Chain A
Amino acid sequence: MTEAKRCKTAGTAGERGARRRGHIRFANVLAKMCLIVGALIILVPFWILLITSFKSSSEIISAEFTWLPKKFDVSGYVNAFNWETAAITSNVLIGLANTLLYTLPTTAIGLFVSGMSAYAFSKMRFKGRDALFAVLLLTMVMPGTVVLIPQYTIYSMIGWVGTPLPLMIPGMFGAAGTVFFLRQYMRGVPDEILEAAQMDGLGKFRAYWVMILPVCVPAFIAQFVLNFIAGYNDYLGPILFLGGGDPSRYTLQIVLSNMVGQSEREIQNRMANAVVALVPLIFVYLFLQNFIIDGVSVSAVKG
């Protein structure tokens, strides 16, 4: 498009124009090549992860590297899925089940609460609203690791350490970032539909449920997925609060981190477990990439 425009405006200098067009075509090819090289750099570790999980131990440490396994060996996956042989401290399936069990309800309830809060901050007028919002914004600049140690102390005093409660209960109160994002989104929803709800005799809460939620579904999906991914990948919290305790309560990340430092012979098992851990996430990502990418970039511009 710009090329056509340039031809129209600067078209008199034929020779120069042709040279410029050549430059542009060259620059275009160069740009695409850079992108392809970059994408390969991103993808190669994933490919190596995948093929190594199918290589036998002897092939993994052999001097010759191949981009495909010479012989597909699924023993890594057999070990990962075998309830008897897989040590319970490193059973990726238990970890996966626990992670989903802890993360999904927390994310859902937290999102509902955040959404309600965002609705109040964006569509209701009440005394002290802005002061309350300012307090909430403080959360966003407060780094989480700073309060881990006192959290651990408090949780151990009330008997939460060794249980998944520290990973679940705080999240159910909603998150400031989510409130901020949803509030921004809801401000774009015209007030007219709320007035219509009002005239139909709907209360404020019903109006949120019936009128706002359906309109804001994309924003809610984006936040749900982002919060779910964050919970799925959470590392320091689970290690601190669950790491020393009952192995049947371990999350996926604890299970994986217990495999760090195992011997060379375990490389194949480790890779297979990593693939099992990543596949659900990558599926969610590819399936909902629209929401995720838009969610992240919108939070970028607004944040």
Chain B
Amino acid sequence: MENRISVTEGAACPKEECPALGKRGGQPHNAAKRRETALGWCMALPPVVGFLAFAFIPLIISFVMSLNEFSRYSYSLEGMTFCGPQNYIAIFTDPDLWKALGITLLLCLSIPFEIFFGLLIANLLRKPFFGRRAFRVIFFLPNICSIVALAFVWTYMYSPQEYGLFNRIVSLFGAGPFGWTTDADMFLGCIIVMTVWNMMGYDALMFQAQIGNINQSLYESADLDGANCVQKFFRITVPMATPMIFYLALIGVIGAMQSYARIDAMDIDPYGMGPSDSGLTLVGYMMRAQEEPIAFGGLGISAATSFFLGIIIAVMTFVNLKVSKRWVHYND
């Protein structure tokens, strides 16, 4: 397209006066080119500078911090002394870290459900009908709301008392009352259910965008062949949605690995991570080392944990990228 423009416009104006066309338009003056480069750098640079200053340099510092010991109560880099891999040895020999890793991985169990319900909703909303827009708006609603405010109503519904909604529901079947979020064995399950409720609309929206891109003639030829909607779903929609399934699984895992807010907000006890630490995630482990340095080890431990978390996420991203090439159908 740019070529076409340069041909038609090139005839109309002298080539020197069209620096917008760049190389393809001809040979602009060197000065103009230099000016464009300078301006381009100035305009493009701020986000890169922001990234370097607020993310990349902290990442380096995080690694340095993880190799140092901090005097308790010190939040400054000045009071640190080099201690080699001591912090890593400390966290890897701490059963709590492995417990936190296990809990964090368990939280990923919400992802298949989110994806399944999301794909189902997107498929039900595939064809236009009256009220489709309203459904889209409703399903996405929980996603824009703050998790703390939502946690208020969910803790109320999960109340261990008999007035809790979930206890009312199970009492219809003669069961309960259960402790729900106050029960260490049920806490993670409660979090997962709320997460599915919260996230499925997001996944549905993503799938709708993907499904909208599927060539409609596939469905039409399937109709001609007499395929029913279940067959169409599993033979066309699901395979064509694999790039999105992969993408959502990946960002879902990355999100779940960093989960903290929902657990902090759902936990009645403000000083813990769920009943008997049953909701202690990796970020929770990292945060408590920073917040309570005496009990849980301080900044060095915290930095080592965050670096460990970063490496896990990087490896997952990389593996997912490699594996996905084998089974993902791209629509191009």
Contacts and interface: CB of A to CB of B under 8 A. Distances in A.
Interface stretch (B91-99, B108-116, B132-140, B183-191): B132-140
B146 A253 contact: yes
A257 interface: yes
Task: Determine which residue in A129, A240, A252, A300 has the highest number of CB atoms from chain B within 10 A of its CB, and name it.
Answer: A300
Dominant secondary structure at the B interface:
helix
A71 interface: no
Nearest to A252: B146
A125 to B, nearest CB: 4
Contacts of A124: 36, 39-40, 43-44
Contacts of B120: 34
B153 A175 contact: no
A261 B182 CA distance: 12
Contact of B152 (A232, A274, A285, A286): A274
A113 B229 CA distance: 47
B55 interface: yes
A286 B137 contact: yes
Nearest to B50: A173
B203 to A, nearest CB: 10
Given A48-B157, A121-B44, A300-B209, A149 B141 contact: no
Interface string B53-83: 1111011011001000000000111000000
Contacts of A129: 40, 44
A72 to B, nearest CB: 18
B261 interface: yes
Interface residues of B, number: 113
Interface residues of A, number: 114
Dominant secondary structure at the A interface:
helix
A179 B14 CA distance: 33
Contacts of B219: 2
A215 to B, nearest CB: 16
Nearest to B35: A204
A235 B287 CA distance: 13
Contacts of B2: 191
A143 B316 CA distance: 12
A296 B251 CA distance: 14
Interface string B233-246: 00000000000100
A214 interface: no
B223 to A, nearest CB: 5
B41 interface: yes
Contacts of A236: 260-261, 283, 287
A62 B260 CA distance: 32
A176 B5 CA distance: 30
Interface in A277-303: 277-278, 281-282, 285-286, 289, 292-293, 296-298, 300-301, 303
A132 to B, nearest CB: 6
Contact of A150 (B62, B124, B155, B268): B62
B274 interface: no
B46 A173 contact: yes
Contacts of B275: none
Interface string B25-54: 000000000001101110111111111011
Task: Determine which residue in A133, A267, A303 has the highest number of CB atoms from chain B within 10 A of its CB, and name it.
Answer: A267
A43 B153 CA distance: 12
B22 A125 contact: yes
A170 B261 CA distance: 21
A149 B307 CA distance: 10
A217 interface: no
B295 interface: no
11 contacts: A46-B141, A116-B44, A117-B44, A119-B43, A142-B310, A146-B309, A205-B43, A233-B146, A257-B265, A281-B144, A297-B212
Given A144-B258, A195-B18, A271-B152, 4 more contacts: A6-B223, A146-B59, A148-B306, A233-B146
